[in-house]
A and B are shown apart, each in its own frame.
Chain A
Amino acid sequence: MTVNKMRRSFILIMLLLSVSLGGCWDIRYLDELSTTVALGIDLSGNDELQVTVQVVNPTEVSTASKGGGGSSPVTTYSATGKTVFEAIRQISNETSRRLFFSHNQVLVIGEELARKGVGDVFEFIERDPEVRTDFYVVVAKGGKAADVLKVTTPIEKIPGTKVHDNIENVENKSGTSFAVRVEDVIETIGSDKKEITMGSIEVIGNVETGGDMKNVQKIDPQTIIKLDGMAVFKGEKLIQFFNAKRSRGISWVDNKIKSTVVSVPCKNEGRTVIEIIHSSTKMKAKFQQGKPYIDIKIMQEANIAEILCPGMKGAAKAVFDQLAKETGQEVTKEITDTVTRAQKLNTDIFGFADAIYKANPSYWKKNRHNWDYIYPKIPIHVEVITQIRREGIRNKSYFEKILRE
């Protein structure tokens, strides 16, 4: 090998090695970061926002060091500012580490702020490349977001994770509240054809003692955080919390039901409880003599969970058909009630406008400015087809033998 060639390859290797230097500018050591799991935003006095972050205390959650130092697994920091970003930067006055938002799991918005309007909240979250937009949003019902983040939780050491998993659990098991991600909210704000809904969360018990680790040392914690129905918005403002049953109506229309429980009364007394195991909703706008109506079709599969009808014979085909029909009626009633309520509040949380736009763009174009007058009067047509698949591992109920007068 000639000297010239050697020199050339030396230069080449040096150049290639220098490529890897590019990564050093953005280097982030794990021990220089504070990972946030939950973000809370409240209104603070005169037009200011209070941002609370819940960050993980790594030594307390690691499995290696047993028990840790007995301090709490998470810590919250709060700061106020005119905007979200200003407040977040203010937090650096209190923290030794740089806040890292990529693994954030949930955003809680205080009720007061939600009633005033949530518009200010999302711009930073959407714009910043480090903050992802796939975490869940909930409204702190009747309180401050900061309080929700300060409550310790059993089982899941990190409250942010508990809220995140709790939201998924509710969506999967009861449907009275469903997961709304930040990007869903942003998408809804961006379109003028739907209104925002998001889940709500509540602190039950004393907030002060709830922040103490003693709270989770008890078998029955005195302070818990609990999910509730959906919060319904008009524009960027929260206008009402729907109760569990009405919230499930939203889930049904929005095709969010995965599994839930419906109960129908028996002929004489008692109830039959049906477990919905699969449900799919198709919502379409249709037109009759130039007037729109909304057609909602639900196909659902169900299991029988409990038959508590004294004297009723189970497992007969006619009984099942009857049950299916009654379940359908029950669901229809729920949906109609929710829609009527939303129409009374004049907030199009179901995206009827979007359905109409998709079905007939020219109608929408002509009537979009009168939408507030049209929406409350739009008739809906609900059709629920229920198929009962299984009745469990007993084909007859002992309730046949129980005769109550």
Chain B
Amino acid sequence: MIENGKISLLQFGIAVYMFALGSTALLAPSIIVSIAKQDGWISVIFCMLVIVAFVSLWSRLSKRYPGQSMIQYGERILGTWPGKLVGLIYIWYFLYLSSLVLRNLGDFITTSVLSQTPIQFVHIMFMIPVLYGAYLGLEVIARTGEVLFPWILVIFSVTILLLLKNIDPGQVLPILPDGLLMPLKGVYPLLGFPISELVVFLLVIPFVKGQNKIKKYFNLYFLLAAATGACIVFISISVLGVDVTARSTFSVFDMAKEINVGNFFERVEVLVGGIWMMTIFVKLSICFYAANLATAQLFNLRSYRVTLLPFGMFVLALSILGYKNTAESAWFITTAYPIYSLFHGLVIPALLLMIGKLRRLKG
């Protein structure tokens, strides 16, 4: 076995939650609101239906081939060479995704917090613990998620509590002025970012204890993340207004700037920024770990650790080359990325499931 660790269902669920929020909750609110206006939060609620469908596809696939990762049964279903090709596609996808996530964080830090610091330096500093986490393996990453999770909940609920007086639900009105079309349009970018990205958990599922409850936990924590997201979008609109939310690059951070209790408890937005450090760490670690694990499984390496350093440097380089600025990333997220991401999250898994059924293969 390349990976000997086992993680619990709860750790799995928390990893799903943090992965789903990841960098999405930082970037997506303004993107969705610019499309769906005040109905942005309804878009996120619509996403829940999509999530249930995706989870049922993925869990069906992993149930059919228990104990195997997607890379392994992909090769069995499609035959050696086509299977290897699909494996390569996924390795590239995970590496590319890692670089995008890293860049999201870098953009955030350099625009909002440390404006003079070179982005490369932020990336390198963040990549070091990620590499270390991936080196130690899945168990450690999952446990890190478990440790960070309560902090996220605490900071998040305290933020909402402190913002209560700034919340003006009137900003969300009127609800659905143009029918369902607008919020449905807002679902599109979310299909790729983050929903399809969670396909990475098809590599993690084999290491979870309690296989029969995977679907339940997957659904529960994924939907919980969506509910959190809907909540974030709702509050963001009702605190900042539709216009500002749509124009703000990191609307949640701007929202946190509004916190002011009695003129002395203010300027705490960096704490809220801390949430993204945590969720992005977990997302990036899992993504990067999966890329290495997939490589090891595809090429029958003895350990997944050999590729850590080269891949790490590759991700660092790619994160700088990926796009020029946040405007380009927002453009990419709303246009091509959902299709690209859906190809990995929906098309390939669905094909694998169908071909596997036709060929009557079982785990």
Interface residues of A (CB under 8 A from B): 15, 18-19, 22-23, 25-26, 129-130, 132-134, 183, 186-187, 190-191, 357-359, 361-362, 365
CA distance A133 to B115 in the complex (A): 18
Residues of A within 8 A of B125 (CB): 18-19, 22
Interface residue ranges of B23-65 to A (CB < 8 Å) = none
A interface majority secondary structure: helix
Interface residue ranges of B171-187 to A (CB < 8 Å) = 173-174, 177-178
Chain B: minimal CB distance from A160 (Å): 15
Contact across chains for B114 and A22 when beta carbons are under 8 A apart: yes
Q: List 26 A-B contacts (CB under 8 A).
A: A15-B128, A18-B125, A19-B125, A19-B128, A22-B122, A22-B125, A25-B114, A25-B118, A26-B113, A26-B115, A129-B111, A129-B113, A129-B115, A133-B257, A134-B260, A187-B240, A190-B244, A191-B241, A191-B242, A191-B243, A357-B177, A358-B174, A361-B174, A361-B177, A361-B178, A362-B177
User: What is the chain B residue whose CB lies nearest that of A25?
Assistant: B117
Residues of A within 8 A of B114 (CB): 22-23, 25-26
User: What is the chain B residue whose CB lies nearest that of A28?
Assistant: B116
Contact across chains for B257 and A134 when beta carbons are under 8 A apart: yes
Given contacts A357-B174, A358-B170, contact A129 B243 (CB under 8 A): no
Chain B: minimal CB distance from A182 (Å): 11
Residues of A within 8 A of B177 (CB): 357, 361-362, 365
In this assembly, does B247 line the interface, its C-beta being within 8 Å of a C-beta of chain A?
A: yes
Given contacts A187-B244, A190-B247, contact A129 B174 (CB under 8 A): no
Chain B: minimal CB distance from A356 (Å): 10
Residues of A within 8 A of B115 (CB): 26, 129-130
Contact across chains for A26 and B116 when beta carbons are under 8 A apart: yes
CA distance A314 to B244 in the complex (A): 52
Contact across chains for B241 and A25 when beta carbons are under 8 A apart: no
CA distance A191 to B37 in the complex (A): 12
CA distance A130 to B269 in the complex (A): 13
- Partner among B128, B170, B241, B260 whose Cβ is within 8 Å of the Cβ of A187: B241
- Partner among B117, B173, B257 whose Cβ is within 8 Å of the Cβ of A22: B117
Chain B: minimal CB distance from A100 (Å): 13
Contact across chains for A25 and B244 when beta carbons are under 8 A apart: no
Chain B: minimal CB distance from A189 (Å): 9
CA distance A365 to B177 in the complex (A): 10
Interface residue ranges of B197-246 to A (CB < 8 Å) = 240-244
In this assembly, does B112 line the interface, its C-beta being within 8 Å of a C-beta of chain A?
A: yes
In this assembly, does B121 line the interface, its C-beta being within 8 Å of a C-beta of chain A?
A: yes
Contact across chains for A187 and B116 when beta carbons are under 8 A apart: no
Q: Which 10 A-B pairs have the closest CB atoms?
A: A190-B243, A361-B177, A25-B117, A26-B114, A358-B173, A361-B174, A25-B116, A187-B241, A26-B116, A22-B125
